[in-house]
Structure 1
């Protein structure tokens, strides 16, 4: 029985009891070892095991580098390793946290490594091993990795060197909007439901027909009413949203105002549901909070 489970229950589970183990996190993709070895060989860096004594231009960060290749590409990893390898005084800085910190700075300020040799020469004034020794105790005081604090110190040291370069703000990622069915699509679905409507107004549409068309059963009446009113005049309601169409075909909407709206729609105007309610004098009361 795992020790973690016994620590939570303070006693062994009874026979037949269900024991739940924590879910294992998904593994991040890694590059192949051959791809990593080709990069290290080109830079004259030797990959050693964790039990071996690390010397100049040697690293044990095989797993970190393989994940970084899969995430950011071989060119990014080559840049990071070359920056540490060729800068003065950082011969033994090829460790996991330092590699992660330099990578974070390069990703946060892409204009800096784009300067080429100037980027590498700037690290001659950044003693990476010494800086990491200063920030290492922070990982025991706060929740976070020590390389995050090291990345901040590196950025502070490099900022005066590249201060004249404009830092482009990160691009804002706009999430795709959910597709909204327009009024024309509502009428088209209503035309598909109309042949299956019974002779009476209260006759329901079969559930299997609604599922085939893609309409909820409780909304079938709305689609059918829209199809009866504008099935042969689709050009009028193409510019309307579903909310406006619902107000326009409502039985409480005055017929004379509906005719006026239809004439203005034919001229190319566009109305919202709130505008139509205001024209018809329809007011909605909001519930007061108790």
Structure 2
């Protein structure tokens, strides 16, 4: 009987130790990928027809560093030349001509100072066209205060000297861009932004009409154009001086996060307006910009 009791006690102790070991075994925390691979904009004709905006952007990485951007009709290879220069070379294109070119991003202390965008388009039976755009960035108190867009070109209908096409001026209050005034193309557009009281969500600046989303390379430059907004835009109201072919008039925003607290969707509702060729206002509801990681 004593032997049986001893064996029973040993079995209980063995099971207890085994259970304790299992409980103390650390579990591995899964690695969450935070690199955006694809951004899909809404395609509804009510959302301004997305004129001039690609409905899909694709991003590729090498060891977590952005290496390739696909922005129809061009594919760009990203080259980190040094701390003050990043170059985006056109490595593939889908156009009627043969296009070569690059986008040179010049920085100082990891902040964009200016961008030079060069493209040469060659045709079999027509003169080639060379276009060169320059975007200049100005800052005040570490926030973006002005962006100026210049362009020049050679070839048919050329403009050999740089010409200012558009200027955007920013007003910042309490760590957020609360107003922009965009002047160019015979139109003055004033945008008023309101914000929530929540911490800024990474990549929320990708939203349509966001004041800090200035190009297809936002993923690359989102942390290189001065201080970001402290909070998240919840509405925009635009007013205009000049004739309008189609512009956003009002937008409200809702941000959806996935189970890993990454931005998954930006849902917008609002109105668009035009005065040419005839006055018209349209509404749109629950249109989504989607993010894939």
Q: TM-score range by the shorter chain?
A: under 0.3
Relative contact order (C-alpha < 8 Å, sep 6+): which is higher?
2
- Which structure shows the higher helix fraction? 1
- Between structure 1 and structure 2, the one with the greater Rg is 1
